[in-house]
Structure formats: C-alpha cells, structure tokens
C-alpha cells in the first residue's frame, strides 16, 4: 500500500503499478503552485508627459516580452485614477489595448498600493513566486509616501518589488517614494531624443539624466 504517489520517483512508481505491486485509494495531486508571476504596474497620464508615456509603454512591452520568454505568467495594470484589473499581454489585441489606454488623472498612490496588495494576496495559492515590476514617474506618491510606508512594507512581504522610475530630470535627488522600492532604476526621457534622428533638442532639465542610472543607495 502506497501512502502517497508523490514520495516515490516516477519511474519506480510506474514500474510498481505496471507489475500490480502498488495499491492506493486515489491519485494524489501536487497542490504546490508551479508558476511564477510577473505583475507589471504602469503609471499613465499626469506626471509623465508625452516622452515619459512613450518610455513607460515601451518598457511595459519590453519587460513583458522578456518575462514571458523566461517562463513567467505576465499580467499588467495601469495606475491612474484607479488601478485597472490585471490583464494579459499575450495577443496583438492585448498589445493594442495597452498602447491605446488613456487616463489623464493623477495616480492615486494609496489606492494603487492597496489594490496591488489585494491582488498579490489573492494569488498566494496560484503562484509560487510573485514579482512586481513598477513603471512610474519620478513624482509617484511623492506627497504621501511616508504615510503609506506600511503599505510598501506589506507589498515587500508579499512579493519582490522592482521599480523603473521614468525621470525628466526635474528632481535633484530621490524622493521618499523612490526609497520605498528595494530595487530601483532611473530611465531619463532624454534617451528618446538620442535614439530618434531629427527630433528637436530637449530642454536643459531633461538632459541631466543619463540613459539608465542605478541608484547607488
């Protein structure tokens, strides 16, 4: 009599079953989650500007493609007046929807953080590992980050958190919200003007940011 199918190597188990040397009441199902989730949060609208929105959406597609290629299940949400529901990026129509979505409102920091946390908690039994990839402007949750510290800590307890902060170079130093993300990178909007021939010169404040800066802290 076998106590569980899962405690025996598969070839050994099949050999015993084929020779009628194994008896069990029912199949044992491995309930451990097998998938890894990459959940991408993208700020849109106010605070990014035209160049910032282009970078944010391009980074969404790049991160989604890379994560899917590494075997992750990819879901994304837009952060604006509210957090949109998690959506896939599997089909061309999904990509078109991601490129056309608009929300000009200021991103609700508390609402976004709380909604992301709720989704992560709901995925505990579905995904063995969860990673949240944030694409936000340099001013995301700038005024209330300290008040939301517990939300940031709760998010970190649920999943790994990495932020790409789209910067126009207006801020001289990291804002409080930036420090809430354990891993963060800065992407300057000036990169677009160096990549696209014929684009007009960028304002002086946008050229102070390098193409990709890693926060030294």
- List pLDDT tens digits, range 6-58: 555 666 556 666 666 666 555 544 454 458 999 999 998 777 777 788 889 99
What's the CA gap between 95 and 97, in Å, rounded? Answer: 5
Q: Which residues contact 146 (CB under 8 A, 6 or more apart)?
A: 176
- In this structure, which long-range contacts are made by residues 5-13, counting pairs with CB atoms below 8 Å and at least 24 apart in sequence? 6/30
86-109 pLDDT per residue, tens: 999 999 999 999 998 988 888 899
pLDDT score at 135? 94
Whole-model pTM over 0.75 = no
Strands 73-79 and 160-167, by their bridges, are: unpaired
Domain boundaries, the chain: 1-31, 35-214
Strands 73-79 and 127-137, by their bridges, are: unpaired
> What class does CATH assign to 35-214?
alpha beta
Dihedrals phi, psi of 213, to nearest 5 degrees? -110, 135
Dihedrals phi, psi of 93, to nearest 5 degrees? -65, -30
155-206 pLDDT per residue, tens: 999 999 999 988 876 554 566 678 888 888 887 776 655 544 554 443 333 3
114-165 pLDDT per residue, tens: 999 999 999 999 998 999 999 998 889 888 899 999 999 999 999 999 999 8
What's the CA gap between 62 and 119, in Å, rounded? Answer: 23
């Amino acid at each position: 009599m076998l106590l569980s199918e899962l405690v025996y190597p598969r070839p050994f188990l099949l050999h015993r079953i084929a020779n009628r040397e194994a008896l069990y009441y029912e199949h044992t199902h491995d309930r451990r989650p097998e998938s890894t989730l990459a959940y991408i949060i993208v700020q849109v609208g106010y605070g990014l500007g035209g160049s910032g929105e282009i970078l944010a959406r391009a980074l969404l597609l790049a991160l989604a493609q890379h994560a899917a290629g590494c075997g992750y299940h990819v879901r994304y949400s837009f952060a604006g007046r509210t957090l949109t529901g998690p959506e896939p990026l599997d089909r061309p129509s999904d990509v078109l929807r991601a490129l056309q979505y608009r929300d000009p409102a200021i991103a609700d920091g508390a609402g976004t953080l709380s909604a992301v946390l709720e989704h992560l908690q709901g995925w505990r039994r579905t995904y063995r590992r969860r990673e949240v990839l944030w694409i936000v402007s340099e001013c995301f949750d700038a005024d209330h980050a300290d008040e939301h510290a517990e939300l940031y800590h709760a998010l970190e307890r649920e999943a790994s958190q990495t932020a790409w902060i789209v910067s126009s170079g207006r801020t001289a130093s990291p804002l409080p919200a930036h420090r809430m993300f354990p891993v963060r990178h800065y992407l300057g909007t000036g990169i677009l003007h160096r990549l696209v021939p014929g684009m007009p010169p960028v304002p002086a404040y946008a050229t102070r940011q390098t193409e990709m800066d890693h926060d030294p802290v």
